[in-house]
Chains A and B, each alone.
Chain A
Amino acid sequence: MDLATTLTGFVALYIFMLAAFTGYEIIGRVPAILHTPLMSGSNFVHGIVVVGAMYALLNATSTVEQIIGFVGVLLGAGNAAGGYVVTERMLEMFKPSDKKSAGDAKKA
């Protein structure tokens, strides 16, 4: 852990607390219709773990560490890419009714 940034102690706690409230507030307002894409979307977001696995792999010093790091990046990349693709596929299908959008267009 020789990175310059230090996020220890209370600074880390502040980050965790604010992030937790952020997640709570965002999800709290989501309509049930979007629950499946949203679970998938949040699943995609924690795919950021691949970045941590990259760090672990690049800093690997032994064969065992390289193997575990390789598996970590593989799994993390799968999480991120898979989460993105399925979420995008689902959300792409959500469309309002033609009638209504046509009516809105007329009004506008």
Chain B
Amino acid sequence: MNLTSEFIIDASFFAAAFLFIYGLKRMSSPVTARSGILVAGAGMLVAVLASFLYYFGVNDAALPHLGTNVVLAAVALFLGTAWAWWSGKRVAMTAMPQMVALYNGMGGGAAACIAAVELLRTNAVHQTIPLVLAVAGALIGAVSLSGSLIAWAKLDGRINGVWRIGGQQLLNGAVFLATLGLGIYIVFVAHGHADPAIVAAFFVGALIFGVMMTMPIGGADMPVVISLYNAFTGLAVGFEGYVLQNPALMIAGMVVGSAGTLLTLLMAKAMNRSVSNVIFSNFGAAGSEEQGEIKGSQKPAEAGDAAINMRYASKVIIAPGYGLAVAQAQHKLYEFVKLLTDAGVEVKFAIHPVAGRMPGHMNVLLAEAGVPYDMIYDLEDINGEFKEADVAVVIGANDTVNPAARTNKSSPIYGMPILNVDQAKQVYVIKRGQGKGYSGVENELFFADNCNLVYGDAQKVMVAMIQAVKSLEGGGH
């Protein structure tokens, strides 16, 4: 490779690594977050453009194919970018978690492809350490690819329910060990010159393991799994970066690997579960657990009455859940909230860490409706305020406000931190019907003395509430 292009490549990768870290740093505050992604995006652009300079330094063996390879690279780059740009622009905010899972799986697949090319090259002299990392990255990347695809299909409603067979753990273990065995064979017995059939079997094994590992996990746990696969892909990219001696891949991959691991732990902690518990237990499909009988009855309330009650309250806290977004009611909700704040009511939004389909997802959905982020509070910041609130409104949420998590040891959600809405003077729960939450657990909050239920589609209920308050103001003029 000539020195100029080599220098440009190295300098570009250095710039990219800096811009990634600086961009992620800026993403850590809502004020600077948007500029953060622009900075990181610039880094990506620089690195991808520089990668075309590899043209001047290819192996002698690849020289006869170079023309074809460059065309292929440009076409693949264009097609991948165009499809992702198009799909990313049109995906609904509610569908964001599965889209992130899909893009993440693609990254894992790319890392696995790099390893595959490396392991299939017959003319190369392989050293043990790069081989170990190539195989490890291939395994992790392939698991991330197939696992993320299953996570995407589940959250997107393409695969329903939980797929489980007897002896699942045993079978998963067997597939994993077989794949690992093939990997060890490739590195230590074949020294990187294994028969292509064996390399193919290794990749197929890893892909199957990713599927089998993800299939038994229920929808409620999927965010933790997506975050875990995000960390996996980061790790795989870092490992393949070592194999290719590319510091930008090593740094970016490892930064994401550790950041993703931390994010996964934070999410699991928010649900009061361990990561291994999420992967190996079957909580996501709970519901078969014994549940104590709940005394009392559910008391219905009219939307208009509830709205007027809130209009004359001094402090209202709203606890939204995913049901709000499903009903596409967040815009109407914010319209209603603006009426309340205009009338001098103090309104705050309380967000449970796992509200929505991913931690922070509800913040995105509220932001989409125009709710300013300084009206939105995390669980730890707001939980002490519920007892001062006149009204707490629960919209499309269930498990995240279920007091059973505090009291009922037999409940599958026992120990999960919840929003203390039951401590407000009056609680209104807006829900479609008398169904249970995502985890399938009955909610004793709905039977509490200070709780009334407003039945109906969240959007229609919000429209009725807006009308009730407006007609009140209209009469006053």
Contact = CB atoms under 8 A, between A and B. Distances in A.
Interface in A86-104: 86-98, 100
Interface residues of A, number: 90
Give the size range of B's interface with the partner.
Answer: 35 or more
A30 B59 contact: no
A27 B30 contact: no
B409 interface: no
Interface string A2-43: 111111110010011001111110111111111111111111
Contacts of B251: 15, 19
A28 to B, nearest CB: 6
B117 A78 contact: no
Contact of A77 (B29, B70, B77, B129): B77
Given A19-B238, A97-B375, A81 B258 contact: no
- Closest 3 pairs between A and B when the two form their complex, measured CB to CB: A77-B80, A72-B113, A85-B88
Given A31-B28, A34-B29, A65-B121, 6 more contacts: A49-B236, A51-B13, A57-B72, A69-B69, A77-B80, A82-B84
- Which of A42, A89, A93 has most chain B Cβ within 10 Å? A42
Interface stretch (B31-39, B310-318, B428-436): B31-39
Nearest to A48: B252
A39 B226 contact: yes
A83 B93 CA distance: 14
A70 B72 contact: yes
Given A37-B364, A91-B37, A28 B262 contact: yes
B463 interface: no
B24 to A, nearest CB: 5
B103 A74 contact: no
Nearest to A29: B28
Given A26-B255, A97-B372, A43 B76 contact: no
A36 B367 contact: no
A86 to B, nearest CB: 5
A93 B65 CA distance: 46
B72 A66 contact: yes
Contact of A42 (B24, B38, B123): B24
Interface in B219-261: 226-227, 230, 233-234, 236-238, 240-260
B107 A75 contact: yes
Contacts of B359: 32, 35-36
B37 A41 contact: yes
Given A48-B237, A91-B37, A100-B374, A73 B257 contact: no
B69 A4 contact: no
Given A15-B251, A75-B107, A76-B107, A23 B259 contact: yes
B368 interface: yes
16 contacts: A3-B245, A16-B250, A32-B360, A43-B104, A45-B24, A45-B40, A48-B237, A50-B77, A50-B110, A51-B50, A52-B249, A54-B48, A56-B244, A72-B117, A85-B84, A90-B96
